[in-house]
Structure 1
Amino acid sequence: MKKKFSFFEMFLVIGFVFFSILVLYPFWQTIVISFSDPKQVSGLGMNLWPERWITDAYQFVFTYGNTMKAYANTILRTVSGTFLIVAFTMLAAYPLSKRDLPFRNTITIFFLIAMFFSGGIIPDYLLVKNLGLLDTRWALILPSAVNVFYIIIMRNYFMTIDKGIEESAIMDGAGYFTILTRIILPLSKPVIATIALWAAVFHWNEWFQALVYIQDDAKSVLQIVVRKMLTAMDVSQSENAAAIGAGGGSSKNLLLANVRAATVIISIGPIVLVYPFVQKYFIKGIMIGSLKG
């Protein structure tokens, strides 16, 4: 016997479908504009499908300056920075999850003070300079390697794990490091995936540190190159009639809208591709890690 939907359930379905369209349409339109002919983009109306698929905008972006080198730098920074954040977060959160840790509350308060108060841009710059990290890739990774908020989330998650598992391992002769790597980490995939996603998104999108600490263009990141590229364009009074003032041979046929759409897709593409693989862990990790104090 088929189940009949009530009016309220039908209203919810229609509402969610409408909301999904509102969310997905701008993203789809950006994809369409990045692959569309400039004549189609300059015309009025909704662009739901390209009349002719072209890749001139992507060719322009990837051949502009050091875009490919900056893309590789961004990937390297994201992978290494995410690894360090997750590693340092685990090493700090595991001891703090032990209620018998000496001065546990004092250490936690010290961490919280550091989370709410910072020295500011100038002290950070002087610290990086005195450590000899200026104009190095380490300047983009080490200053952000420890995040107190992530430590608190992971500490709370570790506190939800049954202590009997650790006690059994200790009775079998396992040390704390062995317990952390062999027992705790396999049981903590949701919170690890959550922290890794946050860290990866931060490093992928962050550009201000590169603007302040990096002078060598060969060490710059994607966001800086994109920023320079967009600001270097000659734009007329009408954005739809914008002309590209630098770049590859076909750049004169492109609009500013084409290039902007292509840079958006290139910038967010890797994060959008990675997110579905960690989504199943994301909600569980953040909910459990934020409940227990």
Structure 2
Amino acid sequence: MNIRSRRDKWFDIGNIIFMSAVVFVTLAPFWFALVGSFNDGLDYLRGSVYLWPREFTLANYKAVFSDTTIYHAFFITISRTLLGMSTHIAFTALVAYGMSRKGLSGRNIYLVIMLTTMFFYGGLIPTYLLYKEIGLLNNFMVYIIPTLFSVWDMIIIMSFFRTIPEQIIESAKMDGAGEYRILLQLVLPLTKPVLAAIALFNGVYHWNSYMDALMFTTKSSLEPVQLVLMRMVTDASYGESFSQQAMSFMPEEAKHVSSATLKLAMMVATTAPIVAIYPFLQKYFVKGVLIGSVKG
């Protein structure tokens, strides 16, 4: 008994050390970016700014938000995230409910067709030509319509729908409820946990997405904030011009800003909102996992 308890203690110690190392490796880059974003730009170029700002300043964030294009980019990102997430949940849940009903004619055929799309993709050029034909190029709806439905999410929701006892649905039908009423008032309230989990993942996808904007839009008015960040990081000329334009609005504090610290401030500004919202959704996500385990 003593040997086993000693082994358990060593296992706990090893587990704590390992998980601490994982947490450190995961959070260190974020912390370094946060520290650098609050540091004086010229001082940051000297290096060795890791644990805390050596010369604290808010000039980097003032420079980022001095340009009105950032506000518009945030508006595009927030709009596509909220609209894309809500329409994705509504459309995918609607399809999943239909596919979960045993009386649906041709259900197996529909399922085979949908599963085929998970393994075969037409390619970028056919997709571009398709979007061009249906008028999605340089259109805000290019962020919404292609993400309305996900076969994988449909399978997850459909599997959860099937855990609901058929007797509950049958009793609702005997009381005169139609399919839409059963879905909206009976089935969806019971599946809030799984819907919250899918909303979390889909919302993070929309917030971080920039490839669709890069490939299918050319208007600066449709650029999400992640595309602006990507260009700042990867395109030296774009980052330098953004820095000069931002500092031109605040010449008195330009000496406290550099291109490097401006990029770090932009990274933190684009990441902070989704990080702040995540814990609230995570609460419902964990609750959903526990409910799902009880149902199982």
Over the aligned positions, Cα root-mean-square deviation in angstroms equals: 2.9
- Which is further off, 276-285 or 76-85? 276-285
- Alignment-mate amino acid for residue 127 of structure 1: L
Aligned partner of residue 84 in structure 1, secondary structure: helix
Aligned partner of residue 180 in structure 2, secondary structure: helix
- Residue pair 1:78, 1:200 contacting (<8 A) in 2 also: yes
Q: Please say if 1:199 is aligned against 2:210.
A: no
State the 1:158 CA deviation: 1.0
- Residue pair 2:231, 2:239 contacting (<8 A) in 1 also: no
- Alignment-mate amino acid for residue 23 of structure 1: T
Selected match of 2:96 from 93, 113, 121 = 93
State the 1:287 CA deviation: 9.5
2:133 corresponds in structure 1 to 130
Distance 1:121 1:252 in 2: 44
Distance 2:156 2:286 in 1: 13
Give the aligned length: 283
| More helix by percentage | 2
Distance 1:197 1:61 in 2: 27
Distance 2:182 2:76 in 1: 35
**% of aligned pairs identical?**
37
- Which is further off, 246-255 or 140-149? 246-255
- Segments of structure 2 that go 5 or more residues without pairing to the other structure are none
Distance 2:264 2:225 in 1: 15
Distance 1:223 1:198 in 2: 17
Distance 1:65 1:232 in 2: 21
Q: Please say if 1:146 is aligned against 2:149.
A: yes
- Which is further off, 19-28 or 177-186? 19-28
2:246 corresponds in structure 1 to 247
- Residue pair 1:191, 1:284 contacting (<8 A) in 2 also: no
- Alignment-mate amino acid for residue 179 of structure 2: Y
Q: What pairs up with 1:1-293 in 2 under 5 angstroms? A: 6-45=9-48, 47-64=50-67, 66-230=69-233, 231-233=235-237, 244-248=243-247, 249=251, 250-251=253-254, 253-282=256-285
- Segments of structure 1 that go 5 or more residues without pairing to the other structure are 237-242
Distance 1:56 1:49 in 2: 16
Q: Are residues 275 and 234 of structure 1, via their aligned partners in 2, closer, same or farther at CA, if it must alter by over 3 Å?
A: closer
Distance 2:268 2:188 in 1: 34
Q: Are residues 286 and 109 of structure 1, via their aligned partners in 2, closer, same or farther at CA, if it must alter by over 3 Å?
A: farther
C-alpha offsets along residues 190-244 of structure 1, whole Å, 9 cap, x if unaligned?
Answer: 11011111211111111122122222212221122223344254899xxxxxx95
Distance 1:234 1:199 in 2: 30
State the 1:180 CA deviation: 0.8
Distance 1:32 1:255 in 2: 14
- Residue pair 1:233, 1:245 contacting (<8 A) in 2 also: no
